Structure 1
Amino acid sequence: MQTRLPIRAVLLLVLAASSVAHASDERNKPSVRLIMLSEHPTDGTRPIYVKGQVVTTLRFEQLVDADKTKMSDWEGRLEPLAVVRNKVLLEPIRDLNRDEGIPLLVTLADGTEIPFLVRPPWPKRDGGWPPILDQQVDVFKDRESYAAMHAALMDALKKNDTLAEENERYRKEENSVDHAYATLLANGHAKKTPFRFVMAARPKDPNMEMLVEVFSGPGKAAALITLKNTNHGDTWEFAGAYLTRDLTSYTKQSFALRMTRSAIAQGQSGTIAVVADKSAFEKDGQLVDLALQIFRSDGNQQVMVRMDRTLIRQ
């Protein structure tokens, strides 16, 4: 459902003028998702995406009635619900399963009841990584208030920045040699690339047959992951990939990625090809080892591939 804000021209000018100087700082804050409540009586329950042992905060414009704010069937899955003035704090004890959902009813001081469904992280629409995980969710009942319109403006600016970055990345990829190599590898044409096969492995997974192949190249390295979904009934969905030195996002490196399909139904197969340039392996003038992690849509790691520095041929 799309929300249209009845923003008056004069107020919009005031917001824009007061926000330009701080727009960059605002957009660099930790992840905050915006929810505008609809006045329509059939507006549905809204999902809140949480992760085990990570606190998610719901923030409202007015005080929350703690006695009338409740969760259903939360025991053993979440810590007891905490209400602090206008905030509701959620902390799962463990990661929720993909099909789990915990009903949450928040009641504001004026009696307004707002239903939510607490869910595990969910894949982004564009298949990007990481999946949606809520750190803070700002919920606005009065869509014409200054705070609501300011938040909407910041949200729009952030989305515009993201689209601009994606468009620039796609433009570069069109002319990228590494992406061309990754396309050839993913489609079974390794012999048409400068890469040499080095080794293969078959990691164990009860729901997936996997073959990992690693290649050495002149100034580059590559990996090819072949997946066959043997899970009865469930479709496997790609969420994203990291290439890092220490398995954290702080050391993630750029690379080219191509796949034959982002969703693999039961019985189907698909391939994921990754090509990394020598520059990704460089640290302080020396080559270091990297690790390639492939994640599925439930947020869990499907496979990890060691990308040894010796794969880079001089």
Structure 2
Amino acid sequence: MLNRFQAWRERGWTQIDAAAYQHAWQRFGGSVATHPLVVERLAGLAQIPVRYLGWHQDGELKAAIPTWGRSLALSKDVLKRHGKKGLYDLGNAELILPIAADAQVPLRHHGRYLSELNQGRIATLKPQAESLAMARTPEDLSKKFRYNQRRELRLLEEAGGVVRPVADFTSAELADMYCDLFQRRWGFAATGAERMGEVIELLRELLIGSVIFLNDAPIAIQLVYRVEAPEWISVEYINGGVDPQTRDFSPGSVLSFLNTQSAWEHARALGKPLRFSFGRADREYKDRWCNPVPVFQV
């Protein structure tokens, strides 16, 4: 029975290897959550093998997908079914699958938060009720808003605040700071806290951003991953933690300003549009930074 369902799901697709998937991603683009390194390393951590599938047209690979059974790889539902719920945290990441602009493929594997960039390239997309929060361009933020962010940064620095790049710290140090500040901010443990150091180390080369210190203690940190596709930059802001005792300085807001501005500068230096996702458009603070964008599911 399972084989029959698998044959139906994979109709028109053929199994390919990880190298072919990587080639498709480098050619057609994707996002953080579909990046070959992210898929391979987090699937390895979960010990759930990935089955890569390709769609060929006239003998040429036009699309590729990483799968876990009947779902796209790294699915939260599959982790849960394997008793590994919360092993790692990718938030509600935007899924951009590597598909050629002139292809239209049927996707029959379950997936959520599929990008609007795949619209027209996947024949089976259905609109999803939720939206994703995508960071606005610096020019799309009001002058007053930008002035206030710079003022808050200045006040923080005048009080002895220091901004340090994540590159200054080991993965274990970043994990400790993140888990501690997350717990303090929200009152419960961060998703994936037990293996956080390991996950950060696995994805280390993709991690960007800064940590804010006050009186030699970390007071704000965010987990932000960035990948470069041929035609755009994909950035995924997973989650963050702040010390609530320092809320008068708005360190979380200051850090969002610093991390988004620096990502825009990097993308513009490369001449590529930026897709900086704050995950699901579900909190008021995201409205200040982001525009909601539609997403799809299968």
User: Which band: TM-score by shorter chain?
Assistant: under 0.3
Higher relative contact order (CA 8 A, sep 6+): 2
Tell me which structure has the larger Cα radius of gyration: 1
Could you say which structure has the higher strand fraction?
A: 1
The TM-score normalised by the length of structure 2 is: 0.26
Could you say which structure has the higher helix fraction?
A: 2
